[in-house]
Amino acid sequence: MPGSIAVWLAAAVIVCLAAALQGITGFGFALISVPLLLLIYDPHTAVGINIIISFVSLSLLTLRVRKAVLLPVVKNLFLGSILGIPLGAYVFLHFDVQQLKFIIGIVTALCSLLLLSGMTVKNAAGCFWERIAGSISGFLTGSIGMPGPPIILFLSNLQLPKDRFRATTAAYFTLVYPSSLLLLTLLGAIDGHITLTAVSLIPFAILGGQVGCRLFSLVPQAQFQRSVPLLVLGTAIYIVITTLP
């Protein structure tokens, strides 16, 4: 019993830290939570907890910053994701997902490094490109359960003000995460125990989110703009490392 309590308390601290990061950037919960939760839980439990809490905390964040959401952008990204999710699910069921994760990790890392170098892609804006980015994100959602990298890199390339960036990413992920949740539930990867554990940790996610939102105003725009591709680079490195034998 003491061991299980210690594990739960460790999970509470992890969730609080991850939610604080998400409160500042609008994303990044999984970047902190999944690697650390894997130290105390099996992979199915760690991923299940991450998806459930991410959805709840992102929903709350979106409500808080809804006035800054770029609704047309979110609409186009989500419409694109609907096209990409079925293809991603097909790959998940019929191909070697580990190899796919490795390739995606390498490509994402390279794109992050280009953004860190100050390079931007001109004319990569508008309805067409938003739906392309959404389709890629949907594909990654269905195949490896990580919708974030293409959306973060795409919006970072647009050099949006930090309040618009945070609100738009949070709103999009609030819409797309239920797809991952539904897929894992249908596959039997999320059971009652995982759900109850996630629900018990939600108050700590709310606390971390409040802290993150308070810190948001203290982060300068230039530093925010640079930290985003760094976080995505961290995600890419994590993807690559988890595919190595």
- Predicted pLDDT at 130: 93
Confidence of residue 2 (pLDDT cuts 50, 70, 90): very low
Domain assignments of the chain as residue spans, ordered by start: 2-243
Q: What is the mean pLDDT of residues 143-150?
A: 77
Confidence of residue 124 (pLDDT cuts 50, 70, 90): low
Q: What is the pLDDT of residues 39-57, one digit of tens each?
A: 888 877 887 888 889 889 9
Percent of the chain predicted with pLDDT > 90: 32
Report whether pLDDT(171) > 90.
yes
Confidence of residue 34 (pLDDT cuts 50, 70, 90): confident
CA distance 54 to 70: 20
CA distance 157 to 160: 8
| Closest alpha carbon to 51 in 35, 77, 33 | 33
CA distance 95 to 86: 14
CA distance 166 to 181: 22
**Nearest-5° Cα angle at 81, 133 to 185:** 135
How many Å is the maximal CA-CA distance in the chain? Answer: 58
CA distance 2 to 195: 21
Contact 200, 53 (CB under 8 A): no
Confidence of residue 120 (pLDDT cuts 50, 70, 90): low
- Predicted pLDDT at 197: 93
| Helix, strand and coil in the chain, % to nearest 5 | 85, 0, 15
CB atoms closer than 10 angstroms to residue 5 = 9
Query: What letters, b where the CB count within 10 A reaches 16 and e where it falls short, cover 66-85?
Result: eebbbeebbbbbbebbeebb
Which phi and psi angles does 200 have, rounded to 5°? -65, -20
187-190: long-range contacts (C-beta < 8 A, 24 or more apart)? 189/44, 189/47, 189/48, 190/44, 190/48, 190/51, 190/52
CA distance 185 to 174: 17
Q: What is the mean pLDDT of residues 137-155?
A: 81
Q: What is the mean pLDDT of residues 9-21?
A: 93
Which phi and psi angles does 191 have, rounded to 5°? -115, -175
CA distance 170 to 46: 21
